[in-house]
Structure 1
Amino acid sequence: MSDEILVGYDGSADATVALNWALDEAERTGRPVRLAYVFEWVTVAGWIGPGVAPGIWPDETARRQVEELVRTAASDAAAARPGLTVHGEVFDGPPALVLEERSAEAGLLVLGSRGHGGFGGLLVGSTAVSVTAHAHCPVVVVRDAAAGPAGRVVVGVDGSPTSLLALGFAVERAAQRGVPLHVVRAWEPAAGGGPAPDGAVAAERAALEEPLAEWREAFPEVEVTVDVVTGRPARALVEASRDAQLVVVGTRGRGGLRGMLLGSAGQQLIQHAHCPVAVVRERRQSRSEK
């Protein structure tokens, strides 16, 4: 597994926004960037893959156009960002599956909110959940209307293992950007409704202090604020994303259903956040490593 930033790229406006976000991240971290265009060959019989007989859709002209698109985008990006290493590559197969497999060799996967051509419908509904839930590395989904650099970094923490991984990812990004970190702990009291007792809120806040202590020591320059609120985590994080440049969550929080690799908060954020969303998970083994 490398530190390379992999970008899902198809030439669409949203893919260009995602690429620019990835290039900014690369300038801060010194990582190389690879543009990945996934060329999906579809017939009435389904995906036929590479090596099809000449004359069967798509023809070689389409393939050459795609390769030229990717070469030009990578070349333009490298010229605009001197000092960065930028490559482009065309892959064959279903976009979600290919990106999942390629993420095993990346440190970060960056996607636009939707695309055209090779990524038609990639981040709509269940496909978005699939890519984000099954990737082998953290995934950032960049929404076109919310790609500005201003604001703090927000992270949702509920004490689950993946939320603690998300906390570490968020602290590091806040330090790189020189911005504050805002930690949100949203929880739903026991059935019956009504405001949570003051003691319960204090206990939830105290539970955050232990994992925060080591990060405060490692990054003393990062200003950290904590907000403990009652209610649905997704709603609290979407609201917090309004004045954020990045919101970070784990793949599945405390109380998640078995087999549900991306929790409801992550799914809601991908669709409704006002800034880019990073979904962090533990390192998964690729099929070649098993």
Structure 2
Amino acid sequence: MSGFRAGAPVVAGVDGSDSALEAVRWAAREAARRGSPLRLVNAFGWMSTERVTDPGLGDSYREVLLDAARDEVARAAAAATETAPGVQIDRQVSSGYPVAVLTNESASAQLVVVGNRGLGGFSGLLAGSVAIALAAHAACPVVVVRDGEDGHSPEDGPVVVGVDGSALSEAALAFAYAAADARRVPLVAVHAWHDLLVDPTMAPLLDWPAIEADERLQLAERLAGWGEKYPDVVVQRLVTRDRPARALVEESGRAQLVVVGSRGRGGMKGLMLGSVSQALLHHSVCPVAIVRPTDDGTA
């Protein structure tokens, strides 16, 4: 699979949770698909202090945490080996806050993969703070994987990509086309539009067919050229008058991966993460890839 920093590792965050193990298994399959090594990373700050309740540990506290982290990485490595035998696995245990550690790892990675919630995560919080912060700041694409309780990832499902009509979606398109090509599945390009500025009393007077035709043209312009680069990828175009987040969440029900940019049309550079991306991290049924644009429009 051609992609971001070919030959660099796929990094998976490990914290001992079931969600993280699902992310490790997904990352192992992706590393095998790319022919890349898998790097398993555990940061002390990700661990629940409830495991260590003896106030008399003193100087041994760090060693207890270190041993627990190593055990968690060992279990993750076993799961990865079972999922994708033959994948080269590198292990890293570090002290520090998970977002900072994984953001640093992202500088030399193809991809960073994390679970949708870690230890101590509330059942209603479908995307943990680590996933959201990392998706906003990582130097490479980030994939957030649902655990078995919340989601699925059908191997024959399509790759879905959100296209908002802006140049910012080019990086997401590049990632999505490569993912669909590597998996030999269709690509569903979703362009959803919903104009909140339209006065409801004026809506009946508008030429909606003409507006829809213009939206279809925007999508066609964004997809132009990609067919030549990926001739084997079958593209299904979906243009709908709906809120983008809702349309993409609905499509996630049949997809194996949804790909979006970190911020959409009108996004400000200082914004941590776009509203559509955040909504998907909370509600998508399948894994979500968040791809940040760079100055040259690539991932």
Q: TM-score range by the shorter chain?
A: 0.7 to 0.9
Does the CA contact (< 8 Å) of 1:9 and 1:37 recur in 2?
yes
Cα distance, 1:272–1:75 mapped onto 2, change above 3 Å: closer
Deviation at 1:213, TM superposition (A): 2.5
Does the CA contact (< 8 Å) of 2:15 and 2:46 recur in 1?
no
Q: 1:98 aligns with which of 101, 111, 135?
A: 101
Cα distance, 1:244–1:80 mapped onto 2, change above 3 Å: closer
C-alpha root-mean-square deviation of aligned residues, in Å?
Answer: 2.7
In structure 2, the partner of 1:152 is 158
In structure 1, the partner of 2:88 is 85
Whole-angstrom distance in 2 between the partners of 1:75 and 1:227: 40
Opposite residue 276 of structure 2, the aligned amino acid is: A
The answer on 1:11 being equivalent to 2:22 is no
Deviation at 1:255, TM superposition (A): 1.6
DSSP-derived class of the 1:146 partner: coil
In structure 1, the partner of 2:53 is none
DSSP-derived class of the 1:240 partner: helix
Deviation at 1:171, TM superposition (A): 0.8
Cα distance, 1:162–1:192 mapped onto 2, change above 3 Å: same
Map residues 173-212 of structure 1 onto 2, 5 A cutoff.
Answer: 173-189=179-195, 190-193=197-200, 194=203, 197-212=208-223
Whole-angstrom distance in 2 between the partners of 1:172 and 1:276: 16
Deviation at 1:55, TM superposition (A): 2.6
- Number of matched pairs: 273
Map residues 46-195 of structure 1 onto 2, 5 A cutoff.
Answer: 55-56=58-59, 58-74=61-77, 77-78=80-81, 81-116=84-119, 124=127, 126-144=129-147, 145-148=150-153, 149-189=155-195, 190-193=197-200, 194=203
- The superposition leaves residues 125-180 of structure 1 with CA deviations (integer Å, 9 ceiling, x where unpaired) of 65432211011100000011323223111100112233111011111111111111
Deviates more, 1:230-239 or 1:33-42: 33-42
Cα distance, 1:57–1:228 mapped onto 2, change above 3 Å: farther
Does the CA contact (< 8 Å) of 1:157 and 1:163 recur in 2?
yes
TM-score, reference length from structure 1: 0.85
Deviation at 1:83, TM superposition (A): 2.6
DSSP-derived class of the 1:249 partner: strand
In structure 2, the partner of 1:49 is none
Cα distance, 1:114–1:246 mapped onto 2, change above 3 Å: same
Deviation at 1:252, TM superposition (A): 0.5
Question: Please, which runs of 5 or more residues in structure 2 have no aligned partner?
Answer: 48-56
Does the CA contact (< 8 Å) of 2:21 and 2:76 recur in 1?
no
Opposite residue 73 of structure 2, the aligned amino acid is: V
Q: 2:293 aligns with which of 271, 282, 285?
A: 282
Deviation at 1:123, TM superposition (A): 7.2
Does the CA contact (< 8 Å) of 1:41 and 1:58 recur in 2?
no
Does the CA contact (< 8 Å) of 1:39 and 1:92 recur in 2?
yes
The answer on 1:249 being equivalent to 2:260 is yes
Does the CA contact (< 8 Å) of 2:10 and 2:31 recur in 1?
yes
Whole-angstrom distance in 2 between the partners of 1:95 and 1:279: 18
Whole-angstrom distance in 1 between the partners of 2:128 and 2:268: 19
Opposite residue 201 of structure 1, the aligned amino acid is: E
Deviates more, 1:100-109 or 1:207-216: 207-216
The alignment-based identity, stated in percent, is: 46
Whole-angstrom distance in 2 between the partners of 1:251 and 1:260: 9
The answer on 1:26 being equivalent to 2:31 is yes
Structure 1: which 4+ aligned runs deviate by more than 4 Å? 119-127
Deviates more, 1:228-237 or 1:73-82: 73-82
Whole-angstrom distance in 2 between the partners of 1:278 and 1:185: 17
- The superposition leaves residues 163-205 of structure 1 with CA deviations (integer Å, 9 ceiling, x where unpaired) of 1110111111111111110011111234224376111111111
